Structures are given as C-alpha cells and as structure tokens.
A and B are shown apart, each in its own frame.
Chain A
Amino acid sequence: MYTNNEILETINMVSHQHLDVRTITMGISLMDCISDSKTKTCQKIYDKIMKKAGNIVKVGEDISNEIGVPIVNKRISVTPISLVSASSHGHLEIIRTLDKIADEIGIDFLGGYSALVHKAMSPYEEEFIRSIPEALSTTNKICSSVNVATSKAGINMDAVALMGKIVKECAYLTRDNDSLACAKLVVFANAVEDNPFMAGAFLGSGEDDAVINVGVSGPGVVKSALESVSGDLTQVAECIKQTAFKITRVGQLVAQEASRRLGVSSGIVDLSLAPTPVVGDSVAHILEEIGLESVGACGTTATLAMLNDAVKKGGIMASSHVGGLSGAFIPVSEDAGMIKASEIGALNLEKLEAMTAVCSVGLDMIAIPGDTSADVISALIADEIAIGVVNTKTTAVRVIPVYGKGVGEYAKFGGLLGRAPIMKISEYSPSKFISRGGRIPAPLHSNKN
C-alpha cells in the first residue's frame, strides 16, 4: 500500500501545485465519411463524431470527479480535412459542420483543418490552404495546421511562402480580436499523427478509427519538487524524472479509463509539460528554480535541454505508449514566467529560437508587430522548420502579427491562451530568398555536426 504521506502529496499536487490532466483528445478518422457530395460528407461526419464522441465531456468529468484530478479540456481531432474534402471540395461546409459539432458536444477545440504538403501542394491543397483564413475567422472552435516539411522530404518553400501570407490574412480578418485566428493556426515540420494538444492536433492516416490520446501537464508540480533539491544537477535531473513519472501515471490512468468508458482504443500519453498563464504553472519558473535569474539568461538552453530530457525519461516508464509532442512547451503568452521575461527584456525572439532546438515544440504563441511583412513571417517559419528538419524532431510556428499594434503593446486573448507582449523581430528583408520558391532538399543524416 501507499503511505499517508503519499496520499497527502497527491492531494497537495492538485490543490496547491496545479496538477491537472490538460486534455483528453479523441482522434476520429473521417476516411469513411468521404463522398463526392458535400451534403452527404457533412451528414456522415456529423453522425460519426456524435456517435463516437457525443459523451466525451461527461466521461471526462466523471473520471475527473472520481480521481480528484481536474481534466481541463476535452477535445476532438480528425483526419486532415484536406483529404476528406478533396473529392467534394466541401471544406467550408465541413468546417461549419465541425464547429456546430464542437458546440453541441461542449468541447473547447476541434483540430484537423489541416493539410500535409511537406513535399508539394496539389492544386486542391493550395485551394484548401487559401481557405484557412476564412475558416478560422468565421468559426470559434476549429484549429488548423499545415505540415510544410519533413526530415525525409525537405522543406516545401512554396508552402512556406504561402503560409506567411495566410498568417497575415488570418491576422487581418480577426483584427478586432488581436488577430486571434493566428492562435489557432500552426505551421509544422515533422508533424505527428497522434498529438492531443491544440492547435496542432489532427489524426493521421496510420491511426485507429477512434482513439483516445491524453496530454498531461504539471509544471507547477515539478517546480515545487525542485524547491527542496539543494544538490547538484544530477540530483535535479533525478528529481524531475521522478516527478514526471508520477504526473504521467495520472495521464496513463485517465487514458485507460477514458478509452474503456468511451469504447475506443487507448492511444498515447503525451508527456509535454504544458504551462498555463496562472501563477505557479510555469515552465519558465522551473528553469529559474534550477538557477537562472530569469528565463532568457545564458544557461536557458542548457537547463531546458536537461528538463526536457528528464521529463521524457521519467514519463516513458510511466506509460505504455508515449507519443504526441512530448517535451516542455514554451508558449510565450501562456506562461507567466515567459511573459514577465519578455516584458523586462530578458527574453527575445532569437533566444526563443535557440530554445526550440532542445524542446518541443517551437516558436509558440509569439506576438510580433502587425506591420511585419508576409516574407519576414515566411522566413521566420523557414528558420524554425529548418531546426526541426535538421534535428529530426517536430517543430512548429504559431506566431501572431497583431494587426494595428507594435512592440511594447500586448495581444490579449484571455483564458488558456493568455496575453503576449509584442516582440521585436528583425526587419531586414528575406524577400529574395522567399520569392525563389522550390524545395530545400532533405538534409544528410550522417556526418552530423
């Protein structure tokens, strides 16, 4: 049996250290809903999702109640809609259906308005990608992602160039809400098929018909555990590992139970440490607890690398199947410590880019001036995507050029999305590079330096 101290430790993690399960996400394949009629496709999608996931919110709440750990979000991810709608060209009708489903079921986000164009875009895929701004600005709960590169295919620079323009258009169409649509759009390299976290969740074609994937959280728990560690970095890493094990076991329990109750298969647990803007739930504060005056100081990349690795080592043993993004998230607007470091000038875009080389998932929830050109955004995407492609890891860009605002001002979204101080970005022009188009060839995977 477990001891009283262990019971109190668990209770304390929930009541004082913000332990929660961030999301249970049901991935649902829509392959069997494809038809050449828009109406028929939408009807099949509605029927299938309501049948599989109609009960997901209640099941999540019941489990949360019984184990005494909050399950913050219940979500759905689907087959990339660019595949589902290719035959009917019904992407905009489908997205309205999906938004309606999300409302009726009571989930906060539904992901999968996505296209995988890492090698090339077909004419229809280009048409689909060009519909993303309208899709995201006229719906509330739909998230979109585009995979523009893989380590095997290289980087599709035509898609990268297009995505700069798409991000700008999303920003403009939601200019009254601090360009909120950009917070629901992710540009990926090496996108994963089983990610439970938004905005980048979709269900890949290699996955089951319906599957539960769980994303854990708990930066506050790791920070609190480290407060009692006065030893060297080996001891720090050990403490993170043991804490990550405990956190992940909660996710594993929830994944098993949710899949049993919903009658679908159990997929993966995503080990990402996901912060929220709430004080005491920050990844930045973990790095500061390890010994930095502020995140962004020299030493940030090294401490983050160690944190990310230790979380994985602890989590992998705790779960039968680990997947998704699995690493520490560093979304600027969603982390109280990151926000503060940006405000005082300790953290800049260049340091963030370096940090993404050693953790998941990329330049996330970063606000930049609204007058940043599409070419600069494309080049920012290209830089981040190159880090993923060369290091054989997933990276992503979720950047918000806040319409009508400049450095020193804020993008304010509220809730889990938080608020982001607008950061300075290099204004030197990459236009010639971006206008070349084509594909950056896949990198060599031997002779690594």
Chain B
Amino acid sequence: MKAIVSVIGMDKKGIIAKVATTLSDIDVNIEDISQTIMQNYFTMIMAVDLGESKLNFAQIKDKLTATGEELGVEIHIQSQSIFESMHKLTTNTKTL
C-alpha cells in the first residue's frame, strides 16, 4: 500500500532523521519527501510504500505515533487513496 506520512509540530533538530530511521527500521520505503517551516511550525510530508514491511498498517501506525510522542510532534499515516479521492476528479485507486 502507498501511504502518506505527515509530521506537524514545533521545529527542532533531528526530526527528519528520527522519522526516517523509524521507517527504515520497519522496512517502509520513502519515495518522496518535502518539508517546510511556517511560523516555527515544522511540516513534513512523505510519500511511502508499505509493500516491503512485515508489519501491518496498525503496527506501523503505532510505531510512528510512538516516534511522534518522543519528538513532541504529531505524526499521521494515511492511505494515499483518501487524498486521491478527495482532491482528484478521477482516481487510479480502486481499493486502499
């Protein structure tokens, strides 16, 4: 499954490193990454592929939530189909 990881919170050192390490440890591949800082708020969006991971979606989500708590930022992971459904007139995604 392709998913979007979003990280939102106060900016500090090492956020990207820590999130990338968590994902790498559980065999989740990062395919695209972009980040910006708006009024001290750090926002990072990653497109990831969960295909190689041995963990299921709920377990991956738990890992990221734990990392988010350590860093004091909010981390979401959502199937990309939700964004495609909402923001594109035609979708390629037939299922999640």
A interface residues with partner B (beta carbon < 8 Å): 2-4, 6-11, 62-63, 65-69, 246, 249-250, 252-253, 256-257, 260
A69 surroundings in chain B (CB, below 8 A): 82
- Given A4-B43, A7-B4, A68-B78, the answer on whether A249 and B95 have CB atoms closer than 8 Å is no
Which residues between 71 and 96 of chain B lie within 8 Å of chain A, taking CB atoms?
A: 76-79, 81-88, 94-96
User: Complex formed: what's the CA distance from A252 to B86 in Å?
Assistant: 10
User: Complex formed: what's the CA distance from A97 to B43 in Å?
Assistant: 51
Q: Interface residues of B, CB < 8 Å — how many? A: 26
Count of A-B contacts with CB under 8 A? Answer: 69
Q: Which residue in A4, A62, A66 is a CB contact (below 8 Å) of B78?
A: A66
- Given A253-B82, A260-B95, the answer on whether A11 and B6 have CB atoms closer than 8 Å is yes
B76→A253 contact, CB < 8 A: no
Contact flags B1-25 to A (C-beta < 8 A → 1, else 0)? 1001010100000000000000000
B43→A65 contact, CB < 8 A: no
B82 surroundings in chain A (CB, below 8 A): 10, 67-69, 250, 253
- Given A7-B4, A10-B83, the answer on whether A65 and B61 have CB atoms closer than 8 Å is yes
User: Complex formed: what's the CA distance from A69 to B85 in Å?
Assistant: 13
Q: How close is A59's CB to chain B, nearest CB, in angstroms?
A: 12
User: Complex formed: what's the CA distance from A2 to B4 in Å?
Assistant: 11
**In the complex, which residue of chain A has the Cβ closest to the Cβ of B74?**
A15
19 A–B contacts, CB within 8 A, in A order? A2-B84, A6-B86, A6-B87, A7-B4, A8-B6, A10-B83, A11-B76, A62-B58, A65-B57, A66-B1, A67-B78, A68-B76, A246-B86, A246-B87, A249-B86, A253-B81, A253-B82, A256-B94, A256-B95
A65→B4 contact, CB < 8 A: no
B6→A7 contact, CB < 8 A: yes
Chain B CB count within 10 A is highest, among A66, A252, A260, for: A66
B96→A2 contact, CB < 8 A: no
**In the complex, which residue of chain B has the Cβ closest to the Cβ of A317?**
B89
Beyond the given pairs A8-B45, A62-B58, 17 more chain A to chain B contacts, judged by CB atoms under 8 angstroms and listed by A's residue number, are A2-B84, A10-B78, A10-B82, A11-B76, A63-B96, A65-B57, A66-B1, A66-B57, A66-B96, A67-B81, A67-B82, A68-B77, A69-B82, A249-B85, A249-B86, A253-B85, A257-B95
